[in-house]
């Protein structure tokens, strides 16, 4: 039995975890460093963390993704320790952790921290080592940069990743990185450039028989096609993307697709359909406690509230979404900024500055669960 004077015991979802008290942990670490055993135990710890990251990669986009997010959530300090050791020792195997853990970091921690860890790793390990894994890491860090609005750096990282994939003849990895470049054109608001890139990437995904990749490209292509005024084609693309996302069991991709479809339906004046899409989207995101997907769903509800002449509700939801973006370091993309500005301006014009700011402040005080509950509360939907 563990000595409770030395160990703290934590119970979480039926699992017992033991943690050394900080003074004892530091003392043990100091003694380890004085011995010849530190490297052996650090490497064993790194191997355990790497195995967990590898094991989590597929489940984090499958039907059990919520369970896996919760499973690895308590391991943040272990991830940090393993990455610190990998950087010190220049361990190329750690590149495998970047695409795996970056998915989780978006869900439960700040993007800045994840980007800093993996950028340091890329700088530490020589460029000629583990080129395939390095290419995947470059793409993962590029995604983090894109999420934070650092588009030029994202493009640099994506292009370096694409060059490595092509050098190694990795068609699947090349297709994924080309998809990232196409998405970057979309988030920059460069629709004329994004459309042919997304169409090409969708063709590549079909050739590779990759349903997830195809769903991503078709969903993004639907956004571009709708923006240029072809609502019917956009609806067909969106429906195919959602069918694929549901088929592979990717709840986050499904939530994001529903949010995009709901906003398109709202702009087309189909408010009942828009509400149904947004309710399903935000329900999924809320169940997963996924801040990125929840933010997209909330901003869709704000747009719907403006369309229904409920500006106070819209301002409150926008405030809640802004808080979530700030908490994880998620920037508005150029194309999102256009919609955000339009919706916020309409709500402010209807309410006046003081009432708008008060409603926004109310929303910005909400935690994720509170914001989701507020947006899904039908009884509020018609209130101004």
pLDDT of the residue at 22 = 55
Within a domain: 313? yes
pLDDT of residue 366 exceeding 90: yes
Alpha-carbon distance of 277 to 270, in angstroms, equals: 11
Within a domain: 271? yes
pLDDT of residue 1 exceeding 50: no
Within a domain: 127? no
Is residue 215 exposed (0-12), middle (13-18) or buried (19+ Cβ within 10 Å)?
buried
Residue pair 341/295 in contact (Cβ under 8 Å)? The answer is no
Within a domain: 179? no
Question: Where residue 381 falls among pLDDT bands split at 50, 70, 90?
Answer: very low
Alpha-carbon distance of 155 to 143, in angstroms, equals: 9
Q: Provide the percentage of residues in the chain whose pLDDT is more than 70.
A: 88
Alpha-carbon distance of 342 to 354, in angstroms, equals: 18
Alpha-carbon distance of 251 to 268, in angstroms, equals: 25
Per-residue pLDDT, averaged over 121-141, amounts to 96
Q: Extract the tokens encoding 316.
A: 């409150």
Question: Where residue 382 falls among pLDDT bands split at 50, 70, 90?
Answer: very low
CA angle 251, 257, 261 (to 5 degrees): 145
Sign, CA dihedral 250-238-109-126, equals positive
Residue pair 206/247 in contact (Cβ under 8 Å)? The answer is no
Query: At residue 382, what are phi and psi to the nearest 5 degrees?
Result: -95, 5
pLDDT of the residue at 103 = 72
**Chain segment 143-171, per-residue pLDDT in tens:** 999 999 999 999 999 999 999 999 999 99
Quote the mean pLDDT of the chain. 89
Within a domain: 314? yes
Residue pair 147/332 in contact (Cβ under 8 Å)? The answer is no
pLDDT of the residue at 61 = 76
Total number of domains constituting the chain: 2
Alpha-carbon distance of 188 to 115, in angstroms, equals: 20
**Chain segment 321-335, per-residue pLDDT in tens:** 999 999 999 999 988
pLDDT of the residue at 75 = 86
Per-residue pLDDT, averaged over 103-132, amounts to 89
pLDDT of the residue at 10 = 58
Non-local CB neighbours of 74 within 8 Å, separated by 6+ positions: 12, 17
Within a domain: 172? no
Q: Where in the sequence is the domain holding 7, given as residue range(s)? A: 1-35
Within a domain: 209? no
pLDDT of the residue at 195 = 97
Per-residue pLDDT, averaged over 77-87, amounts to 94
Cα–Cα distance list, 95 to 124, 136, 138, 246, 274 (Å)? 11, 8, 9, 30, 41
Within a domain: 291? yes
Alpha-carbon distance of 37 to 339, in angstroms, equals: 57
Alpha-carbon distance of 137 to 148, in angstroms, equals: 17
Question: Where residue 39 falls among pLDDT bands split at 50, 70, 90?
Answer: confident
Question: Where residue 218 falls among pLDDT bands split at 50, 70, 90?
Answer: very high
Q: Extract the tokens encoding 129.
A: 């080592």
């Amino acid at each position: 039995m563990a000595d409770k004077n030395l160990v703290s015991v934590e119970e979480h979802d039926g699992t017992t975890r033991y943690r050394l008290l900080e003074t004892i942990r530091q003392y043990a670490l100091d003694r380890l460093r004085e011995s010849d055993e530190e490297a052996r135990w650090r490497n064993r710890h790194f191997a355990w963390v790497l195995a967990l990251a590898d094991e989590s990669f597929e489940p984090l986009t499958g039907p059990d993704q919520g369970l896996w997010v919760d499973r690895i959530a308590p391991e943040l300090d272990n991830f940090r320790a393993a990455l610190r050791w990998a950087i010190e020792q220049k361990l190329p195997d750690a590149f495998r952790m970047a695409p795996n853990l970056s998915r989780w970091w978006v869900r439960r921690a700040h993007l800045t921290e994840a980007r800093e860890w993996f950028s340091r790793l890329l700088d530490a390990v020589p460029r000629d080592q583990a080129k395939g894994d390095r290419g995947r890491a470059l793409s993962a860090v590029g995604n983090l940069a894109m999420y934070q609005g650092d588009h030029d750096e994202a493009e640099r990282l994506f292009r370096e990743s694409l060059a490595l994939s092509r050098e190694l003849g990795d068609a699947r990895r090349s297709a994924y990185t080309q998809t990232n470049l196409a998405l970057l054109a979309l988030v920059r608001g460069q629709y004329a450039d994004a459309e042919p890139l997304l169409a090409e990437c969708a063709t590549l995904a079909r050739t590779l028989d990759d349903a997830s990749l195809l769903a991503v490209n078709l969903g993004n292509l639907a956004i571009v096609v709708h923006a240029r005024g072809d609502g019917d084609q956009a609806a067909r693309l969106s429906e195919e993307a959602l069918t694929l996302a549901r088929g592979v069991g990717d709840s986050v991709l499904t939530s994001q697709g529903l949010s995009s479809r709901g906003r398109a339906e709202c702009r087309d004046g189909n408010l009942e359909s828009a509400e149904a899409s947004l309710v399903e989207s935000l329900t999924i995101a809320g169940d997963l406690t996924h801040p990125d997907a929840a933010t997209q769903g909330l901003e869709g509800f704000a747009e719907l509230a403006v369309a229904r002449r409920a500006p106070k509700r819209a301002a409150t939801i926008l405030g809640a979404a802004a808080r979530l973006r700030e908490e994880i370091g998620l920037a508005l993309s150029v194309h999102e900024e256009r919609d955000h500005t339009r919706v916020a301006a309409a709500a402010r014009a209807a309410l006046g500055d003081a009432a708008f700011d008060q409603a926004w402040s109310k929303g910005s005080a909400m935690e994720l669960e509170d914001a989701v509950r507020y947006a899904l509360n039908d009884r509020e939907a018609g209130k101004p």
